[in-house]
Amino acid sequence: MEQAPNVDTVRKLVTQYSNWGRWGDDDQVGTLNHVTPDDVVRAAGCIRSGKRISLALPFDASGPQTGGFGRFNPIHLMFRDGGDIISGTIVDDFYGGRDRHIRGTDDMIIMPLQSGTQWDSLSHILFENKMYNGYPAEHVTSKGATRNDIRQAADRTAGRGVLLDVARFKGVPALEAGYAISAEDLAGCADAQGVEVGRGDFVLVRTGQLEERRGNWGDYAGGPAPGLGFASIPWVAETEIAGLATDTWGMEVLPNETPDVFQPLHIVLLVGMGLYIGEIFDLQALAEDCADDGQYDFFFCAPPLPFSRAVGSPVNPIAVK
């Protein structure tokens, strides 16, 4: 990285770290292949105290979306509710006019799939008109993704999780926007925490930004943020981790390290490497717990909703310690 990175840097890195074909020409889950059954069994060993911690923001109108890329916060609508019960109209409206004593309520949601705590699928990002494993853009039409959709990961995002609390490691409440996390930071943080990171792990990187912005989001979605920089790529590749999530909107450092390419690490990691990327993970409670008990690894279960042909999914990731 002697000279300023540009699109050629990205091209080179995509090639260098490419996993295309590594798990077959028809693979659709990328680094999730790193997790073996044995890893899952070993991950169970991280369950020691029986704590279960949710890493999802609530999904509601107070979420972080401010309209970027057409995304909005979830719109929640009741279509059968207590008012219908109190007024008695529910009997006619829902129970055919005969009162059979039950009263139910029901609701619906309208939401961009990437409006809150979420997984990107491997069809979410393309580079030079191709997605992970070389599938061309024709595979994502108005009807959705016919390759690399989120359904592929329905049963794959469980295993060993590791929190890397980089903010705490650096002794700050939150890394500054624009701070590019390096391999050295990640390895140093793991060392300081006394935890090893290896093949098949799901790594959660805490920058502190979500906590800093919670409830007063401002430009959290799409604005300047700390996050992974080019210098973290070798670490991500060499550790052979299965997935990586942050408490930021976009995983990587913003502004990006090159003005020529937007979200270049998405290109290298998601398109090239086939890395599953999680965003807007709420790591506050987990980080406090890990600092308390000194245990930074856990059983991690973060199942996406298997929407057919979807390019992402909201998720409620659970850390079990």
Question: Could you give the angle at the alpha carbon of 243 between the alpha carbons of 38 and 145, nearest 5°?
Answer: 110
Q: Give the one residue of 21, 47, 191, 255 binding a second copy; rule: CB under 8 A.
A: 47
- Other Cβ atoms within 10 Å of 178 Cβ, number: 15
Footprint on residues 302-321 left by a second copy (CB under 8 A): 303-312, 314-318, 320
Footprint on residues 132-161 left by a second copy (CB under 8 A): 136-145, 151, 154-156, 158
Name which of 72, 258, 62, 35 is nearest 156 in CA terms: 35
165: which strand partners?
Answer: 206
Contact 288, 186 (CB under 8 A): no
Residue span binding a second copy (CB under 8 A) among the ranges 186-194, 206-214, 220-228, 262-270 = 262-270
Q: In this structure, what token pair is assigned to residue 85? A: 């019960």
Choice between 104 and 194, CB closer to a second copy: 104
Choice between 1 and 44, CB closer to a second copy: 44
How far, in Å, CA of 217 to CA of 156, rounded?
A: 31
Footprint on residues 72-131 left by a second copy (CB under 8 A): 72, 74-90, 93-95, 100-114, 123-129
Contact 160, 201 (CB under 8 A): yes
Residues in CB range of 27: below 8 A, 6 or more apart: 21, 33, 133, 274
- In three-state form (DSSP H/G/I as H, E/B as E, the rest C), the secondary structure along 224-255 is CECEECHHHHHHHHHHCCCEEEECCCCCECEC
Q: In this structure, what token pair is assigned to residue 198? A: 């290896």
How far, in Å, CA of 170 to CA of 198, rounded?
A: 22
Footprint on residues 182-221 left by a second copy (CB under 8 A): none
Choice between 196 and 308, CB closer to a second copy: 308
Residue span binding a second copy (CB under 8 A) among the ranges 58-66, 179-187, 218-226, 237-245 = 58-66
Residue span binding a second copy (CB under 8 A) among the ranges 172-180, 207-215, 219-227, 300-308 = 300-308
Q: Give the one residue of 2, 26, 70, 216 binding a second copy; rule: CB under 8 A.
A: 70
Choice between 174 and 315, CB closer to a second copy: 315
Q: Give the one residue of 1, 48, 176, 196 binding a second copy; rule: CB under 8 A.
A: 48
Contact 181, 229 (CB under 8 A): yes
- Taking the complex as a whole, how short is the minimal distance between the CB of residue 281 and a second copy, in angstroms? 13
Choice between 24 and 50, CB closer to a second copy: 50
Choice between 188 and 198, CB closer to a second copy: 198
Question: Could you give the angle at the alpha carbon of 57 between the alpha carbons of 199 and 153, nearest 5°?
Answer: 40
Q: Give the one residue of 12, 15, 22, 36 binding a second copy; rule: CB under 8 A.
A: 36
Choice between 20 and 169, CB closer to a second copy: 20
Footprint on residues 158-187 left by a second copy (CB under 8 A): 158
- Taking the complex as a whole, how short is the minimal distance between the CB of residue 98 and a second copy, in angstroms? 9
Asked whether position 15 contacts a second copy by CB under 8 A, the answer is no
Choice between 107 and 238, CB closer to a second copy: 107
Name which of 80, 70, 236 is nearest 164 in CA terms: 236
How far, in Å, CA of 274 to CA of 267, rounded?
A: 9
